[in-house]
Amino acid sequence: MKIAIIGLGKVAELHVEAIRELGQHSFVGGWSRSVAKAAGFCERFGGTAYPTLEELLDDQKIDAVLVATGSDSHFEYAKRSLTAGKHVLLEKPLSPIASQIRELAKIANANNRICMPSHNYVYAESMRRLNAHIKSGRLGRIVNFWAIYNKRHDASIGGPDLTMRELMVHHAYCMLYFLGRPSHVYATGTNVHFTDQTADDQLMITAEYPDGKIANLWGSFSADDRSREPWSCYFKVIGMKGSGVIPWDVTKFDGVPIPFWDDGTYWDSFVQVQSYFLNDCLTGQLAPLSTLEDAYDAAVILDAARQSLAEKRRIKIDYS
């Protein structure tokens, strides 16, 4: 399988490193609205710097594309790629508008192509094994779930909805992967770090399930956890017959340019998501572990959390 990348920023670097690890000849090239950025990217990683998006989509040797632009343009580029006959791996958040995710599913089906969310966390082997233990019943009835993230980011990046849009989407799709759909959410947020005082840099979402489960989703861009067993990126499931915990920060790197790039498990998850997309999904015809339907549900859950933040009350989630 040959894959190209639309949007050549920092996330694209993680993906192309993963693709190269899987096979030196899988990466074909990429396109960026900045010609200079595209040329520099392909000088570093190989492949063709396509001068226009049309030339990339017209290239018949490309089987699939990764869309790694800003979320506001995801729908447009994914739609154009699917109608051009390409399979699509689409970075999160898929779209700021939940209904567009459902429309992408219809477009993918009409063109007999796969559009897979790049929900990379759930492709980590440790996450997949914990999910298998839940599904097998080895943990018994699940009663609560925790997704925790504490990583200090530069205070200047903060903007309204940034933490919800860019961070809590991971919590939402992981919750769906392990537990399925919640019925209600309550959210609270504060600003303790971001320069923009209107921007929450800490968020807590409590999600309730009809059978009594509670999911606790905590995300903070304000501070690092420097304790002995840090909750930098941490998942825990507690059941009546067993429990499971997955800390991510177990292999660490030095000299990284941005937060979380020092986490080996984070890098590994990109290898695993690319491997699944290219080998299991496209070649082996297996369904994605986290689907467009899950991406739609995650978007709806976060919209309900936004409503809860604004109205300071518990919100019933409407998935219709």
Round to the nearest angstrom and report the end-to-end CA distance of the chain.
36
Per-residue pLDDT in tens (0 to 9) along the chain, 320 residues: 999 999 999 999 999 999 999 986 899 999 999 999 999 999 999 999 999 999 999 999 999 999 999 999 999 999 999 999 999 999 999 998 999 999 999 999 999 999 999 999 999 999 999 999 999 999 999 999 999 999 999 999 999 999 999 999 999 999 999 999 999 999 999 999 999 999 999 999 999 999 999 999 999 999 999 999 999 999 999 999 999 999 998 999 998 888 899 999 999 999 999 999 999 999 988 999 999 999 999 999 999 999 999 999 999 999 99
pLDDT at position 23 is 81
Tell which of 86, 118, 150 closes a domain.
118
Q: Is 271 within the bounds of a domain?
A: no
Q: Is 270 within the bounds of a domain?
A: no
Give the full edge-to-edge strand order of the sheet including 243-247: 243-247, 233-239, 142-150, 214-220, 202-208, 184-190, 315-316
Full domain range(s) for residue 61:
3-118
255 in the same domain as 207: yes
DSSP secondary structure string, 32-53?
-SSHHHHHHHHHHH-SEE-SSH
Task: Evaluate the CA torsion angle 132, 98, 172, 271 in order and state its sign.
Answer: positive
Its pTM stands at 0.96
pLDDT at position 257 is 86
pLDDT at position 25 is 85
249 in the same domain as 191: yes
CATH of the domain at 42: 3.40.50.720
Domain count, the chain: 2
Peptide bond into 117 cis (omega under 30): no
pLDDT at position 12 is 96
In order of 59, 206, 289, the CA distances from 221 in angstroms are 40, 18, 27
| Contacts of 136 by beta carbon, 8 Å cutoff, 6+ apart | none
109 in the same domain as 173: no
49 in the same domain as 196: no
161 in the same domain as 101: no
